Amino acid sequence: MTASINAFIVEGTHLKAHVESDQGATLTLVGEFTDAEPTVDSGGVLEKNPALVSNLWSYAKTWYEAHSISQDDALAIQDKDEQKAALKELAKAKKVAQARAESYAKVAQWIADVADDVSPYQPKNGWCSSCYTKTDHLKSNRPAGQLPVYVCQGCGSPTLPCVAAKCENMAVRERGAVQIPQYCSEHRHEISGFEKANQNFGKLEEYEEFLKFEKKDFNKGAKLVGVGVVGVAAAAPLALLAAPAIGGAIGSLGMFGGLSGAAATSHGLALLGGGTLAAGGLGMAGGTMVVTGVGAAVGGTLGATVANAYVSEDKSFRIELLRSGSGVPVVVANGFLTQSDDERWGGWKALVDSKYADSPVYRVRWGSKELKDLGIMGAGLMGKPAGVGAFKGAAAVANKAGAKLLGRTLGPALIAADLAKNPWHVAKTRADKTGVILGDLLARTDEESYVLIGHSLGARVMAVAAEALGTKPGGPRLQDVHLLGAAIGAKGQWEGLVAGVDGAVYGYHSQNDAVLKHVYTVVQGGQKAAGYSGFSPESTKLINVDVSDVVKSHSDYQGNVTLS
Q: Which residue type sits at 31?
A: G
User: Does residue 140 or residue 38 have the better pLDDT?
Assistant: 140
Residue 370 lies in a domain: yes
pLDDT, average across residues 236-261 = 34
Residue 484, H or E segment: strand 477-484
Does residue 134 contact residue 194 with C-beta atoms inside 8 Å? yes
Residue 439, H or E segment: helix 423-443
Q: Read off the pLDDT band of 220 (50, 70, 90).
A: low
Q: Give the model's pLDDT for residue 35.
A: 74
Q: How far is CA 283 from CA 189, 426, 563, in A?
A: 21, 9, 29
Q: Read off the pLDDT band of 234 (50, 70, 90).
A: very low
Q: Read off the pLDDT band of 275 (50, 70, 90).
A: very low
Q: Give the model's pLDDT for residue 299.
A: 67
Q: Give the model's pLDDT for residue 187.
A: 92
Q: Give the model's pLDDT for residue 95.
A: 83
Q: Is the pLDDT of residue 377 over 80?
A: no
pLDDT, average across residues 344-361 = 95
Share of the chain above pLDDT 70, in %: 73
Q: Is the pLDDT of residue 231 over 90?
A: no
Integer Cα distance of 487 and 521 in angstroms:
10
pLDDT, average across residues 163-168 = 92
User: Does residue 167 or residue 272 have the better pLDDT?
Assistant: 167
Q: Read off the pLDDT band of 449 (50, 70, 90).
A: very high
Q: Read off the pLDDT band of 21 (50, 70, 90).
A: very high
Q: How far is CA 544 from CA 480, 536, 560, in A?
A: 13, 9, 16
Same domain, 146 and 87: no
Q: Give the model's pLDDT for residue 451.
A: 98
Q: Is the pLDDT of residue 443 over 60?
A: yes
pLDDT, average across residues 342-369 = 92
Q: Is the pLDDT of residue 92 over 70?
A: yes
Residue 8 lies in a domain: yes
Q: Share the mean pLDDT of the chain.
A: 76
Residue 148 lies in a domain: yes
Phi, psi of 497 (to 5 degrees): -65, -40
User: Does residue 170 or residue 97 have the better pLDDT?
Assistant: 170
pLDDT, average across residues 423-450 = 85
Domain end marker among 144, 179, 202? 202
Query: How does DSSP classify residue 266?
Result: H
Q: Is the pLDDT of residue 439 over 50?
A: yes
Q: Give the model's pLDDT for residue 308.
A: 72
Q: Give the model's pLDDT for residue 337.
A: 59
Residue 370, H or E segment: helix 368-383
| ∠ CA 373-378-383, rounded to 5° | 130
Residue 334 lies in a domain: yes
Give pLDDT tens digits for 469-522: 887 778 899 999 999 999 998 988 888 889 899 999 999 999 999 888 888 887
Q: Is the pLDDT of residue 45 over 60?
A: yes
Q: Read off the pLDDT band of 189 (50, 70, 90).
A: confident
Does residue 258 contact residue 493 with C-beta atoms inside 8 Å? yes
Same domain, 136 and 104: no
| Rg, the chain, Cα only | 24
Same domain, 64 and 184: no
Q: Give the model's pLDDT for residue 303.
A: 66
Residue 209 lies in a domain: no
Q: Give the model's pLDDT for residue 222.
A: 46
Q: Is the pLDDT of residue 420 over 70?
A: no
Integer Cα distance of 21 and 114 in angstroms:
8
Residue 98 lies in a domain: yes
Q: Read off the pLDDT band of 461 (50, 70, 90).
A: very high
- What is the count of structural domains for the chain? 3
Same domain, 130 and 82: no
Which range, of 187-201, 254-268, 397-411, averages the lowest pLDDT? Answer: 397-411
Q: Give the model's pLDDT for residue 300.
A: 67
Q: Is the pLDDT of residue 339 over 60?
A: no
Exposure string (b/e) for 215-227, b if CB count within 10 Å is 16 or more? beebbeeeebbbb
Q: Is the pLDDT of residue 290 over 60?
A: no
pLDDT, average across residues 34-57 = 84
User: Does residue 259 or residue 142 have the better pLDDT?
Assistant: 142
**Could you report how far apart the first and last alpha carbons of the chain are, in Å?**
70
Alpha-helix runs per DSSP H in 116-212: 207-211
Q: Give the model's pLDDT for residue 30.
A: 95
Same domain, 370 and 519: yes
Domain end marker among 180, 202, 224? 202
Q: Read off the pLDDT band of 378 (50, 70, 90).
A: low
Q: Read off the pLDDT band of 235 (50, 70, 90).
A: very low
Q: Give the model's pLDDT for residue 345.
A: 92
Which range, of 314-323, 325-334, 447-456, 539-548, averages the lowest pLDDT? Answer: 314-323
Residue 153 lies in a domain: yes
User: Does residue 429 or residue 261 have the better pLDDT?
Assistant: 429
Same domain, 340 and 483: yes
Same domain, 72 and 177: no
Which range, of 22-36, 52-66, 406-420, averages the lowest pLDDT? Answer: 406-420
Same domain, 21 and 87: yes
Give pLDDT tens digits for 514-552: 888 888 887 777 889 999 999 999 999 999 999 999 999
Q: Give the model's pLDDT for residue 503.
A: 97
Residue 94 CA to its chain's centroid (Å): 23
Same domain, 141 and 43: no
Q: Read off the pLDDT band of 256 (50, 70, 90).
A: very low
Look up the CATH number of the domain holding residue 543: 3.40.50
Q: Which domain holds residue 16?
A: 4-109
Q: How far is CA 383 from CA 172, 247, 339, 380, 386, in A?
A: 51, 40, 19, 5, 9
**Beta-sheet strand order (sheet of 134-139):** 124-127, 134-139, 150-152, 158-161, 170-172
Same domain, 73 and 131: no
Same domain, 47 and 139: no
Same domain, 100 and 138: no
Residue 158 lies in a domain: yes
User: Does residue 502 or residue 43 have the better pLDDT?
Assistant: 502
Q: Give the model's pLDDT for residue 179.
A: 62
